[in-house]
Structure 1
Amino acid sequence: MPSRSPDPGVSGWRLGSLRGVPVYLGSSWPIIAVVIVLLFGPPLQRALPELGMGAYAVAALYAVLLLLSVLVHEAAHAITGQLRGYRVSRIVADLWGGHTAYDHADTTPGSSALVAVVGPAANGALAALAWAALPVVPEGVPRLLVLALAWSNGFVALFNLMPGLPLDGGFLVEALVWKVSGSKTTGTVVAGWCGRVVTVALLLWAIVLPLLQGRSPSLVTVVWSLFLASFLWFGATQAIRAGHGRALLARVRLRDVAEPVTVVDDTTPVAALPPGAVVVGNQARGPWGVVEPQALAGVDPAQRAQVPAGAVAVAQPAGWVTSAPSLDVDVTVAVAAVQAASAEQILVVTETQPPEVALVATARLGAALTRADAEQPRP
């Protein structure tokens, strides 16, 4: 039995796991299942009247086969991503088909392209297997389902290779532009605009062209075209925004918003604290709190040699400590850490030798990004 998702980022049910990656059925997926049953049930009933209401059960079985196809597609992404060093967090089948969530900040154009192409390749393989099995599949419902599986997976493979985000073909465009220009941000924006072009082309082909030829597109064609177009346009717009957002983050260096800090053991007496910002911690917990100037001012001068720094430190939320290659990189890692920890400030420890340690306050980070946005040239 599937269990309700414990992941706050997923609304749905956990089906199991793949190589340690949780697999979820999103709560929106039943919507598309109902749509499939209502669209394919009636024509199937007319084609095979002997099925009666069983035609709807066959349509439901087809919806399940499509779900399995989606999961195979996403599993290909997840496994390849893991092999390329991605941290894959989940696989979800939902209203829009499915998605695989992973952290791939350190990827390369080649890895990105490889992870993108294996999804459609998996669907192409399923289509080929289903087509090859047709000669030995019994006539009637079994043959009909296998044929539908072959055609639908072939369509999904080709559709996903269309050159625009959020489709896998869009990630191939992004990787190509990234490789040529040296900028992933540029690749994302270009692939996002390609996604908008693909959306318009889809509507022109499916709805406008038949009307110009004097034909009326069927209701099913109109519904599916609008559904796919809304998915594509939304995804393409999000990609363009993400690209512009990364460009903004690239304009601010981490050092510009970082405040040097001293890390001391939480048993250190207040009287022995150095000037400036102070973070306390211990061997068991690591850095866990910040000594605020207001708290220090409230300590009786006669007691400063006895009061430990940990007694006046403000505890910080889990995940408030993050690492960065150096303080000379942009603030992308800081923004991600602030969002993940929901913290007012984060502690950054660099990977340099010796490491640098600094505090980044959310307010200071936000102000720097606001200034950078105001100074950014407008098209």
Structure 2
Amino acid sequence: MRTGSPGWRIGSISGVPVYLGRSWVLVALLMVAIFGPTVDRLVPGLGAGAYVVALIFALLLLVSVLVHEAAHAVVAQRVGFRVSRIVADFWGGHTAHDGAGGTPGRSAAVAVVGPLSNGVLAVLGWWLFSALASQPPGMAPGEFGGSTTSAVLFLLAYAFAWANTFVGVFNLVPGLPLDGGFLLEALVWKVSGNRHLGTMVAGWAGRMLVVLVAIYALLPVLQGQQVSLTRVLWAVIIGAFLWQGASQAVTVGRHGAISSRRTVGEAALRPGVVPADTLLGSVPWPEHPIWVVTGADGRADGVVDPRSLQQVPVEARARTAVSAVAVRLPAGWAVEMDPQTRLDTVIEVMRSSGSGVVGLLDPSGRPWGVVMADALTRRS
């Protein structure tokens, strides 16, 4: 089957698979390019070693991201959510959980532990920084002199402490997709009783935050000063991340408001079910608008849109397996759900699994329906 992996699996935390997204390589390269010259300036004589130190800093940031996401995952499990994966990528990281049975309190608990974990790391970093600054061998406090090793450790401790302080505080800003945005969403949800309203409010708050970031980046221009390339670069990266997540939240909230007035049964397509090793030529494709593909264990593993058969020549279909045209979907895409369930429940499954297609299972685990993302926007 064709599949889209979230990256390289590097381990698991509390039974949850942890992936290193391929885009994280860009983070490492960016940190080396930006931090390397700074290290070379502050600790003269390292040469190419300055970029090795910058790479070590990038790895320390990766550890911080994983601790942050692990905190989300563990608390999500504790409050009853099913967590499917943790991914560290270019935008930092994310923890996918289903949110079924969620409440404002549970949502807030999952959100707040991420920044708190960065706060703990920041305290450890500042403690180590203070310890190195108080009695550095051959180095006056606060100076990057003395032995090269001491200077490098001093610099890494400072950078690690500062980075975690910034991430912890910045993540508490009330605007999606930051953790503070989820806290704002939970607050509006609690007060109004409408989660979708909370999502839209927090999404618009995230968009306003992008405006503030842009103003901050261009502030020197308003004061008649030049703007450094690094300042602009960070503003663009942070602004793009925030705008993308905030806009997605506004869209999800709007779709949720529409979907809350409909049931899953009204939006679901009735699928055919076919094992992955079945030959294409033996399947009556026109009988269903979409087909759910099952793996060797009999579980729903992906889907086939009959239109994708155009990729396979007619003469080859008698010897080609369904798996050749099937699209394998992320873990958690197929869930047990009653036809009378509100359609906005499907949005939670899509948010947690990252799939634009949700398979609906009966109590025996057999697929009875499929909901596509475009069904969420239809009003009737």
- Whether these two folds match at TM > 0.5 is yes
Distance in 2, matches of 1:320 and 1:201, equals: 37
- For structure 2, the 5+ residue unaligned runs are 137-149, 271-296, 301-327
Amino acid at match of 1:38: A
CA distances 1:28-53 after superposition (whole Å, capped 9, x unpaired)? 10101101101111122122221111
SS, match of residue 118 in structure 2 = helix
Higher RCO (Cα < 8 Å, 6 or more apart): 2
1:331 paired to 2:343? yes
CA distances 1:158-187 after superposition (whole Å, capped 9, x unpaired)? 111111000000000000000000011000
Match in the other structure for 1:141:
152
Call closer, same or farther: CA 1:321–1:100 in 2, change over 3 Å: closer
Distance in 1, matches of 2:268 and 2:51, equals: 61
Distance in 1, matches of 2:376 and 2:130, equals: 65
Do the aligned residues in 1 keep the contact of 2:258 with 2:379 (CA within 8 Å)?
A: no
CA distances 1:325-368 after superposition (whole Å, capped 9, x unpaired)? x654322456859x97968x955559xxxxxx9955769x9789
Match in the other structure for 1:59:
54
1:237 paired to 2:235? no
Do the aligned residues in 2 keep the contact of 1:120 with 1:168 (CA within 8 Å)?
A: yes
Determine which of 70, 84, 89 is the counterpart of 1:89. Answer: 84
Call closer, same or farther: CA 1:224–1:342 in 2, change over 3 Å: closer
SS, match of residue 59 in structure 2 = helix
Do the aligned residues in 1 keep the contact of 2:259 with 2:376 (CA within 8 Å)?
A: no
Amino acid at match of 1:168: D
1:190 paired to 2:198? no
Do the aligned residues in 2 keep the contact of 1:348 with 1:360 (CA within 8 Å)?
A: no
Call closer, same or farther: CA 1:160–1:9 in 2, change over 3 Å: farther
Distance in 2, matches of 1:150 and 1:35, equals: 19
- For structure 1, the 5+ residue unaligned runs are 1-5, 261-284, 289-316, 351-356, 373-379
Amino acid at match of 1:196: R
Provide TM-score, normalisation by structure 1: 0.72
Matches within 5 A, 1:106-255: 106-137=101-132, 138=136, 139-207=150-218, 209-254=219-264
CA distances 1:237-258 after superposition (whole Å, capped 9, x unpaired)? 0011111111121121346568
Match in the other structure for 1:298:
none
Amino acid at match of 2:245: G
Match in the other structure for 1:29:
24
Call closer, same or farther: CA 1:26–1:259 in 2, change over 3 Å: closer
Displacement of 1:13 after TM fit? 1.1
RMSD: 3.5
CA distances 1:47-81 after superposition (whole Å, capped 9, x unpaired)? 22211111111111111111101111111101111
1:105 paired to 2:100? yes
Amino acid at match of 2:246: A
Call closer, same or farther: CA 1:177–1:67 in 2, change over 3 Å: same
Call closer, same or farther: CA 1:320–1:82 in 2, change over 3 Å: closer
SS, match of residue 51 in structure 1 = coil
Provide TM-score, normalisation by structure 2: 0.71
Higher Cα Rg: structure 1 or 2?
A: 1
